[in-house]
Amino acid sequence: MADITRRLGWRHLRGAPTAHVRHHTSGELVHDGPGLSFWYRSLTASLSEIPVDDRELAMTFHARTSDFQDVAVQATVTYRISDPAVAASRIDFSIDPDSGAWRGTPLEQLGSLLTETAQQHALAVLARTSLASALVDGVAAVRERIADGLAAEPRLPATGIEVVAVRVVALRPEPEVERALRTPAREQIQQDADKATYERRAVAVERERAIAENELASRIELARREEQLVEQQGTNARREAEELAAADAVRAGAEAARTVRLAEAEATRSLRLAEAEATRKVRLAGAEAQAEREVGAARAEAQAAWLRVHGEADAATLHALTGSRLAENLPRIENLTISPDVLTGLLAKLGNGAAGESA
């Protein structure tokens, strides 16, 4: 829709680049082209706006196949108005000079024209095609037939319309027929799925059997290796015991030899010590005997000398020596009191003794 602005009885139209505007005043063409912008008076102006961009026309219609089955055709036709002047002269594209809205429904007329033409050609090709063939190859055949039919339709160029592309989206039968057609495929798919399931189970069973066999073989191999390990361990244990026994024997021999050497050394040392001790005792005994002999000889000589001295001494001297020795051996006397009677007796004894000696 054109953008129209009002100013003091005048109108200003600003068209889009994709809209071709034709302006007539008093039957004369004043402005003609896309994306125009101009002032005009609404009372004397006649305006037409023709879209020149590509348009998508979606259509859905029903057709019947050669085996009398209804199918629904979903298609899309892309078109554009290549000659706006021709289109404006054949179809009413006039717009209100005050609001810019179309006075009629030109696009609906174009849509009806294209839909009826496409439907006519689609019905012609599907009427000679069975349902199964239509569902398999009907889309391409219908698209080609519609495209060729629209290209050869003389009314479209005469209206200024150019078909750009034709697309057939789908061909669908009735729901009951579609379900019936899907049943064999579903059964086949289910059978294939069941077959795949059985094959998968068979493969799984085979794999489980292979795994079990591998596990059994692994256990057998492990048991064999364990047996070899036990044998090797026994051999190693025997060898270790033999080596330990040999080492113990060597150690015992070395210990015995060391003990013998130590005993011999101890015996030799003890013998040497005993010999040294005996020698020392013999020497000591000889020295003691020699000393005792010398002491005895000295004592004998002293005794002999003492006897000679006493033998040569007189009686008074001997008495004096006896008294002195007695005095030496008597206990210490602090005070001695001699009574006259004792002194008289002693003097008398001394006198008698001296007289006897004199005689």
Residue with tokens 């020149």, as numbered in its chain: 52
Average pLDDT value for residue range 40-59: 91
Report the percentage of the chain scoring pLDDT > 90: 26
- Determine the Cα–Cα distance for residues 181 and 133; give it in Å rounded to an integer: 13
Alpha helices in the chain (DSSP H): 84-90, 106-126, 131-152, 155-158, 175-312, 315-329, 340-358
Average pLDDT value for residue range 243-266: 85
Backbone torsions φ then ψ of 16, nearest 5 degrees: -85, 155
Average pLDDT value for residue range 166-177: 88
Q: Give the pTM.
A: 0.51
Judge whether 16 and 35 are in contact, CB under 8 Å: yes
Judge whether 31 and 87 are in contact, CB under 8 Å: no
- Determine the Cα–Cα distance for residues 340 and 112; give it in Å rounded to an integer: 203
**Model pLDDT, residue 316:** 67
